Amino acid sequence: MTSRMQGSDSTTPTGSPAESPDTASPDSASPDTASPDTASPDTASPDSPATGAGVREPIWSRDLAFVWVVNFCLALAFYGLITIMAGYAVTRFAVSDATGGLAASIFVVGATVARLFAGGLVDRLGRRRVLWAGLAACAAVAALYLVASSLPLLLAVRATHGVLFAVTSTAAMTLAQARIPSSRRSEGTGYFALSITLSTAIGPFMSLEVANSAGYDTLFWSIFATHAAACLLALLISAADEPRAPRPTGNRTAGGVLTSMVHPAVLPIGLFMLVIGCVYSTIVTYLNSYTAEEGLERGASLFFVAYATVMFVSRFVMGRLQDRRGDNVVVYSAIVVFAAALLLLATASADWMIVVTGALTGFGFGTINPACQAAAVSRVPQEQFGVAISTFFLMLDGGVGLGPVVFGLIAEQAGYSAMFLALAGVMLLSALLYLAVHGRRPDARHGRAPAAPAHHDEQQADCPQ
């Protein structure tokens, strides 16, 4: 009887493909860290070994499809509200544009603060529990928009909604990562991220149409209904791998508390994402002012159409390539394309150049974000996915907030073109940072996918009978 060799598709407790002893990364978690709650015979955990070398485990499952729709609803409400909130505050309470902008941005402040504890909460209480409770709370807060009769009340509702959004979205993404096979982590992460990509296009359009045709109250009822529908859908997600009771809080020293808020294994690649967040947010913040100054407003109106289109298409290709060839080939190519986008933007003299910049940015940022999220999750055991994801987005959100402030100083002194040229230089230098924090790891260089079927057949033939 032919014996089967499974060395090429075995997995570590971190949910990443197993590495040989001589190439194992020092960042890999030890077998002691595996949790008994992370696998269940009923759910066929995607991090369990594949049934045979070369067998492509299916990405999509009933649970992942439900989580995808739930996350889409959550993001749809977020982008729908942030689009109209500043205008609503100005109209409803007769405040200045700057104060109205605060009504929009305070949501992000609440969400960023919540990232510090969201991951630990999800890991300790259970992903599905936190997701359902968060969605129910978001629905309740959406109803409060209808009765917020003063600006301070509106700001309180927005900040609370931001906290709940951060916790709930962390639970959704953690659930998704737990359902994606480790050998197809990058491809699955890219597909799941499409739930956010589509919401960025549909959410603002939907909210503006409803607000302009039926009024703000109808829009708030629509947001409530969206959260309520997602809440009901979340009940259909399997809870077989949830802990029966909250996990112990563990080490309560200062270091232990900090680790439960920010995962040290994710901080290095999180630092890289902080830089990427700085670059991306600076483009988005100053694009309209720059194109208005250069007389390229028509190109600016199509920037995000090109951005979303290319991002959508690239998700079907780059994730699969990353799983097979490693993180480096995907991330380095995206860095080069992103830098090229900034160089083109800095020297733009025609509308088509702005549109092409949008397409290149969609490929650059749209590839780096899910690629590095998959890499971050692969560094930790499954029961720590929540902290890993919250750490990743804490660093990214920090960069999004920091970028326009830091690089806006360059724009004030030397102009927008000089600022975008500086950003292009930062993008190219970020390749060295990526190499230092992640690029030398075995899975970054070689990929996570199992061996090809032909290779497996050769291994079987060589096995002793």
Same domain (yes/no): 302, 442: yes
Same domain (yes/no): 198, 269: no
**CA–CA separation, 318 and 316 (whole Å):** 6
Query: Structural domain of residue 196, as residue ranges?
Result: 60-238
Same domain (yes/no): 223, 300: no
Three-class DSSP category at 17: strand
Question: pLDDT by residue (tens digit) across 106-125?
Answer: 888 898 889 888 888 898 88
Asked whether residue 350 is domain-assigned, the answer is: yes
What value does the mean pLDDT take over residues 84-99?
A: 87
Residues 6+ apart with CB under 8 A from 236: 66
pLDDT of residue 452: 43
Asked whether residue 465 is domain-assigned, the answer is: no
What letter does residue 438 receive in the DSSP assignment?
Answer: I
Place of tokens 């000089």: 418
Residue 247: pLDDT band by 50, 70, 90 thresholds? low
Same domain (yes/no): 127, 201: yes
For 365, half-sphere exposure in the C-beta direction (CA atoms, 13 angstrom radius) is 26
pTM above 0.75, yes or no: no
What value does the mean pLDDT take over residues 71-86?
A: 90
Same domain (yes/no): 234, 266: no
Nearest alpha-carbon partner for 29 in 216, 259, 191:
259
Instruction: Please check the confidence at residue 45 and state whether its pLDDT lies above 80.
Output: no
Three-class DSSP category at 11: strand
pLDDT of residue 464: 41
Asked whether residue 299 is domain-assigned, the answer is: yes
Same domain (yes/no): 218, 274: no
pLDDT of residue 11: 36
Q: Is-contact 137 281, C-beta < 8 A?
A: no
**CA–CA separation, 66 and 74 (whole Å):** 12
CATH number at 232 reads 1.20.1250.20
Same domain (yes/no): 280, 353: yes
Position with higher pLDDT, 54 vs 337: 337
Q: Mean pLDDT across the chain, nearest whole number?
A: 82
Q: Is-contact 397 111, C-beta < 8 A?
A: yes
What value does the mean pLDDT take over residues 381-396?
A: 89
